Every structure is written in structure tokens, then in C-alpha cells.
Amino acid sequence: MDTQATRTPTAPGRSTTTQVALVTGAAGGIGSAVARTLAERGIGVAAVDVRTTELRELAEKLTADGLTVAALPADVAGADRAEAVVEEAEQRLGPLDFLVNAAGVLRLGRVPEYRPEDWSTTFSVNAQGVFLMSQAVVRRMVPRRRGAIVTVSSNAAAVPRAGMAAYAASKAAATMFTKSLGLEVARYGIRCNVVAPGSTDTPMLSSMWQDASGPRRTIDGDPGDFRVGIPLGRLAVPSDVAEAVAFLLSDQASHITLHALTVDGGAALGA
């Protein structure tokens, strides 16, 4: 990423960081790794999450490491709050160059017994949140004729998963929304891409495990649920996903848009 030129602040207390990224879900396993990875590259990070305590702890830790990070608690599924948090991010750090939609929730359950409220929650965060945050950010990017957006989706968006129908459907919606948005804004020099992780060593993944055999069973797969396992023989770590996000935001990916980069050790067999 180009971090040579320096912006001149236009408001008291605004950062002079060259580039600015807003990262949703920043208190989560992948989101926090993305926030750190971008900040370590000299990018100012507006870290957004509904979990206020964890978010502030993250910001304090990264700031103590000499990085530029601002904690902005918000529920990305709220239309009024999405607009407000984007405005606050730009007031505090400067015009946004990047958006990373990393907020997500997982509510497991087979369809016959699945609760409507879990379906609604899953879509409100995983799909509606992506729409609202992307809309608020791209409205500002279009007049500037620059910017890049990455949505953290899932390999489940392309491969059916038993017990995960709502999650898979919501991630498929987020994936196609991001690609369609990218088609609309390409004329303004704005790129929109997707990173689709597989099983990643985060609290979301461990919440699916029943006992200590969970990691091994995830790697080996489950024929009864038509899961082939992970050909590379290991779980991803959050930094694997964060590096993919950073690449798609960078100048090295300047001619890549409408693309989904799968980071799953081969679990989806290239789907």
C-alpha cells in the first residue's frame, strides 16, 4: 500500500495518517487480526464492534504498540448508527480509503428446528450490516473517485453446510452484494472484493466444538455431513485471513475487483 504522502488534518485531533480504514467486527478473532495487520502497515484504523469492552481493550493495546487505532462502538445492523459511525471515523481519522466488513455472527441449527429470530439476527449482521456500512462508505468514496472494500465472507457461501443454512445463505448474500456493488462503482476507481475463509482458529469456530477432539475432527472432515476436511491439514489462523484482506486492499491488487479469494486450506476444493 502506498503510505508515502501525508494528509493535512482539517479538524482538531484528526490523525495525519496517510490512509484510513474502517474495520467492522474489530473485536472478533479475524477482525482484530485485520485491524492489527492494517495498522502495522501505517494505516489509521477505525475499529468498529458492538462489544464495547473488548473493542476498547483492542484499541488500547494497539495504541500502546504505537499504532493509530480509534475505537468506535456500534451495531453495524442499525441504519442510523452505520451512517453516524462512518461520519465519526472520518472526523477522527480522515477520509476513508478502505472498508473491511468483518462483522459476523453464527447461529447453528438444522432448518426444521431453526428459530426465526436466529435467522433474522444472522441476516441483520452478516448481510444487512455489509449493505449499510458499504452504502455509507461508498457514498463518500464515489466523489473522491478512489477506495477499496473487502467483505469477509466464508467458504460456506459457495459450499452447502449442514446445520449452517442461515449462515451460508447470509454469507452468499454478502458475497454477491459486494461483487454487484463493485460492478456499480468500478467506473469511479473503487474496487470491491471478498475474502472467504474456511475453518479459522477463532472463538466462533471453537463454539462449534463439543470437546477437545473438535480441531482434529474439523481438519479430518465429517463424511456424515459431507465435509471433506482440510487438505493442507491445519486450521487457518486469523493472520492468514488478515494478510489476504491486506493484499486485496493494497496497490498490488490494483487491477483486481469483483473477486472472491478463498482462504481455507483447500476445504472447499476450489469452489
Q: Just list the catalytic residues.
A: 167
One-letter amino acid of 159: V
- Cell 467492522 belongs to 24
- Would you state the cell numbers that stand for residue 228, as one nine-digit string? 471433506
Which residues lie closer than 8 Å to 9 by C-beta, 6 or more apart? 15, 16, 94
- Is the separation of the CB atoms in 77 and 49 below 8 Å? no
Residue 70's DSSP bridge partners are 46
The CA distance from 122 to 189, in Å, is 31
One-letter amino acid of 83: E
The CA distance from 109 to 79, in Å, is 28
